[in-house]
């Protein structure tokens, strides 16, 4: 019903058509609305009768009036009948009875009693809600009231549409895109918006609603992410509280253990001191007793000797003194008797307590922290075609328990935090005890990103990322593919034209046919970035590039859709693919050709390696593995494979796209030098 109602609504008054006119453009318009449009064009110098045309407010078609004016336009009787039936259906339809009125009660706006009675209908035309009594009084069943649109009671704000700022009695029904403003039909016809681009309210509503919904979705998503982030932060805060309490308890426990150890050692040392004291005093008491005993004997002997010396009678003196003299002589000669053995080191003065070392250790007590991040030494790292040896240093080497090496293929992502968090793609080598490690089994010519983690009991810290690359895939020329008029030497790294070299059996892999003097490498490449060089020597006639295995062997490389080559014929340089040739600029002294195959990024580039100059790049969507191919028609060439990508190649990479765009206009099916090349061959 809502869709039908919108089709029956006048674009000017936004109400159901009343006495609709059928315009020549097939749109309809209320008679009164059309009359208001004509009135808006009137002026003192231009009366209403002189106006002979106006624009349809829907499609802007110019409606021409005859001498009868609006009366000359046909009435849209069919539309009026549809409107009448719609109005009856809206009054008696299943969606409009008393149940809705009971659930959503609104008061009559015309009642004089207080409180007003409950409204039963809202007149959209009058923009007033009426109770049953007031409705019968104000809307008798006759014109013009029969054309009023009655709906179920709605709030006053819902029935009063927005009015135009410039035309107070007009409701807005358009949107000016220039001024970003709601306008009415008169604004577009005669107002300042008549030259502006406008859109319908529905179109603008849908667009703005979609934009708002999209922005709201993004905002809700962002809020969800912020809430998740905040939840994680809150969780971390809670974990900090838990960890802090745990560490504080651990600190008290450890310090109590230290205090207990000191207390126990204090008791042990105190016991040792007491025991040493008792032992030393016992020894000293024994020595004192010995000294006292000796002193008593010597004192008695001295007294006896002194008595003998007082005797003046020679005979008596001789009789008594001889024995005393012998005893005194013996006592004097024997220091053991007079002076007993006394140990002067028993004074306890050689016993010392020195805890300075222990005090220093205690003063240095602190909680253990995670080691400082190690640093990867790019200049010390080495690589082969399938290995990379990573070297690193650490300032806290003595506090590191072990290292952990993490690596993955580098995809060009610059957000290393996001890359590091995508743990599924990382290879991890744990429990490394040295400050270097060699990773085996890597892809050739592939760039990897490495992290080193230093670990101890307190935690771990990561190094800054390092991007390291394996060398190109080494290869040689495959003798089974070499044309019978080519001779391979130098361990299958050199090929030269040799008319006498005919003793070779024909195989499907071998280049054959007149002029197809070629050979292929002995590897097929399906990933990575690989660089090799070709020493051209004095050769002035060659074609070098890559091809699928399915490329024909009986025609020049580049003459089919399965091969891409850089070619020289005397003084002419060109690139060739699928029979299309394009001249390129290169030095006649070109002696060292660099070839860069970036399989992952779908490109094949050629360089003057001696002068560090870019020659050409093919943009290729590789579908199958490719093999290096080489063709010569004079002299010899030598291959150097498995080389690291030189610095000058990275330096010119940013110029390739512009260079390619300049050359695209030169590409064609037939080269002006094609005839000359056929003659050369």
pLDDT digits (tens, 9 = 90+) for 274-296: 998 898 889 888 888 888 888 88
Cα gap 477→544, rounded to integer Å:
13
Q: What angle do CA 649, 650, 655 make, to 5 degrees?
A: 85
pLDDT of residue 643: 87
The CATH superfamily of 479-680 is: SPRY domain (2.60.120.920)
Percentage of the chain with pLDDT > 90?
Answer: 33
Q: Which residues have a Cβ under 8 Å from the Cβ of 158 and sit 6 or more positions away?
A: none
The stretch 656-664 carries a mean pLDDT of 44
With 60 as the cut, is the pLDDT of residue 676 above it?
no
Strands 603-608 and 592-598: antiparallel
The CATH superfamily of 1-93 is: Zinc/RING finger domain, C3HC4 (zinc finger) (3.30.40.10)
Residue 44: pLDDT band with limits 50, 70, 90? low
Q: Please tell me the least confidently modeled range out of 179-188, 410-419, 420-429.
A: 410-419
pLDDT of residue 168: 66
Residue 392: count other Cβ atoms within 10 Å of its Cβ.
Answer: 23
Sorted by where each begins, the domain ranges of the chain are 1-93, 254-366, 375-469, 479-680
Cα gap 274→622, rounded to integer Å:
92
For residues 220 and 210, is the Cβ–Cβ distance under 8 A?
no
Residue 393: pLDDT band with limits 50, 70, 90? very high
The sign of the dihedral angle between the CA atoms of 637, 641, 643, 648 is positive
The stretch 559-578 carries a mean pLDDT of 93
The tokens 């008061």 sit on which residue?
Answer: 107
Say whether 412 sits in a helix, a strand or coil: coil
With 80 as the cut, is the pLDDT of residue 83 above it?
yes
Angular region, 180: left φ>0, alpha ψ -120 to 50, beta rest: left
With 60 as the cut, is the pLDDT of residue 312 above it?
yes
Q: Which residues have a Cβ under 8 Å from the Cβ of 620 and sit 6 or more positions away?
A: 564, 602, 603, 604
Say whether 122 sits in a helix, a strand or coil: strand
375-469 placed in CATH 2.60.40.10:
yes
Residue 190 vs residue 562, higher pLDDT: 562
Q: Please tell me the least confidently modeled range out of 123-137, 181-195, 327-341, 465-479.
A: 327-341
With 50 as the cut, is the pLDDT of residue 640 above it?
yes
Token digits for 374? 């190690």
pLDDT of residue 60: 84
Cα gap 519→531, rounded to integer Å:
18
Cα gap 372→453, rounded to integer Å:
10
Cα gap 520→196, rounded to integer Å:
69
pLDDT of residue 354: 84
Residue 671: pLDDT band with limits 50, 70, 90? very low
Q: Please tell me the least confidently modeled range out of 71-75, 240-244, 334-338, 639-643.
A: 334-338
* Closest by CA position to 388, among listed 506, 499, 297, 471: 471
pTM above 0.85, yes or no: no
pLDDT of residue 330: 82
For residue 614, the cross-strand partners are 607
Say whether 342 sits in a helix, a strand or coil: coil
The tokens 């009594």 sit on which residue?
Answer: 133
Please give, one letter per residue, the 3-state secondary structure of 607-653: EECCCCEEEEEEECCCCCCEEEEEEECCCEEEEEEEECCCHHHHHHH
314-333 vs 201-309: helix axis angle to the nearest 10? 160
Per-residue pLDDT of 496-554, as tens digits, reads 988 776 667 777 888 887 778 899 999 999 888 899 999 999 999 999 999 999 899 88
Residue 298: pLDDT band with limits 50, 70, 90? confident
Per-residue pLDDT of 368-388, as tens digits, reads 788 899 999 999 999 998 899
């Amino acid at each position: 019903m809502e869709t039908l109602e919108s089709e029956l609504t006048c674009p000017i008054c936004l109400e159901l058509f009343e006495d609709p006119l059928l315009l020549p453009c097939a749109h309809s318009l209320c008679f009164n609305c059309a009359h208001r449009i004509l009135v808006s064009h009137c002026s003192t110098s231009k009366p209403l009768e002189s106006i002979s045309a106006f624009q349809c407010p829907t499609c802007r078609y110019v409606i021409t009036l005859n001498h009868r004016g609006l009366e000359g336009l046909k009435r849209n009787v069919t539309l009026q009948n549809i409107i009448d039936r719609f109005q009856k259906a809206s009054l008696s339809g299943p969606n409009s009875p008393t149940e809705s009125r009971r659930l959503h009660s609104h008061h009559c706006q015309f009642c004089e009693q207080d409180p007003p009675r409950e409204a039963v209908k809202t007149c959209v035309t009058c923009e007033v809600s009426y109770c049953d009594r007031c409705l019968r009084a104000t809307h008798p069943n006759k014109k013009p009231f029969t054309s009023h649109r009655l709906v179920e009671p709605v709030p006053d704000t819902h029935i009063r549409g927005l009015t135009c700022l410039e035309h107070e009695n007009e409701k807005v029904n358009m949107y000016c895109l220039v001024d970003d403003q709601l306008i009415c039909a008169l604004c577009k016809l005669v107002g300042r918006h008549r030259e502006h681009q406008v859109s319908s309210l529905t179109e603008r509503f849908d667009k703005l609603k979609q934009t708002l919904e999209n922005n709201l979705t993004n905002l809700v998503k962002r809020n969800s992410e912020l809430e998740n982030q905040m939840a994680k932060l809150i969780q971390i805060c809670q974990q900090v509280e838990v960890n802090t309490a745990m560490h504080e308890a651990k600190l008290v426990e450890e310090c109590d253990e230290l205090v207990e150890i000191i207390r126990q050692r204090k008791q042990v040392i105190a016991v040792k001191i007491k025991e040493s004291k008792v032992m030393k005093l016992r020894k000293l008491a024994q020595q004192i007793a010995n000294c006292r005993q000796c002193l008593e004997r010597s004192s008695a002997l001295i007294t006896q000797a002194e008595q003998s010396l007082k005797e003046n009678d020679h005979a008596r003196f001789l009789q008594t003194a001889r024995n005393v003299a012998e005893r005194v002589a013996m006592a004097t000669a024997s220091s053991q008797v007079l002076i007993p053995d006394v140990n002067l080191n028993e004074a306890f003065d050689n016993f010392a307590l020195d805890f300075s070392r222990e005090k220093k250790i205690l003063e240095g007590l602190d909680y253990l922290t995670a080691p400082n991040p190690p640093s990867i030494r790019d200049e010390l790292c080495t690589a082969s075609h399938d290995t990379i040896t990573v070297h690193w240093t650490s300032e806290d080497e003595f506090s590191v328990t072990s290292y952990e090496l993490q690596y993955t293929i580098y995809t060009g992502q610059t957000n290393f935090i996001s890359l590091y968090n995508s743990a599924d793609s990382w290879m991890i080598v744990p429990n490394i005890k040295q400050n270097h490690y060699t990773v085996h089994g890597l892809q050739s010519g592939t760039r990897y990103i490495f992290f080193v983690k230093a670990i101890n009991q307190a935690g771990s810290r990561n190094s800054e990322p390092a991007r390291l690359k394996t060398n190109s895939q080494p290869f040689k020329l495959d003798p089974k593919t070499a044309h019978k008029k080519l001779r391979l030497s130098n361990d299958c790294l050199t090929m030269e034209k040799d008319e006498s070299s005919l003793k070779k059996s024909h195989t499907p892999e071998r280049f054959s046919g007149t002029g197809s003097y070629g050979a292929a490498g002995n590897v097929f490449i399906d990933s990575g970035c690989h660089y090799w060089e070709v020493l051209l020597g004095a050769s002035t006639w060659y074609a070098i590039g890559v091809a699928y295995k399915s490329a024909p062997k009986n025609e020049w490389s580049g003459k089919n859709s399965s091969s891409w080559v850089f070619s020289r014929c005397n003084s002419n340089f060109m690139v060739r693919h699928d029979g299309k040739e394009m001249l390129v600029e290169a030095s006649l002294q070109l002696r060292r050709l660099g070839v860069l195959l970036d399989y992952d990024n779908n490109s094949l580039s050629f360089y003057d390696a001696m002068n560090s100059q870019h020659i050409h790049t093919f943009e290729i969507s590789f579908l199958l593995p490719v093999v290096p191919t080489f063709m010569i028609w004079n002299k010899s060439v030598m291959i150097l494979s498995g080389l690291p990508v030189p610095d000058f190649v990275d330096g010119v990479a940013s110029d390739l796209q512009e260079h390619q765009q300049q050359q695209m206009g030169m590409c064609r099916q037939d080269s002006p030098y094609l005839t000359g090349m056929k003659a050369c061959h």
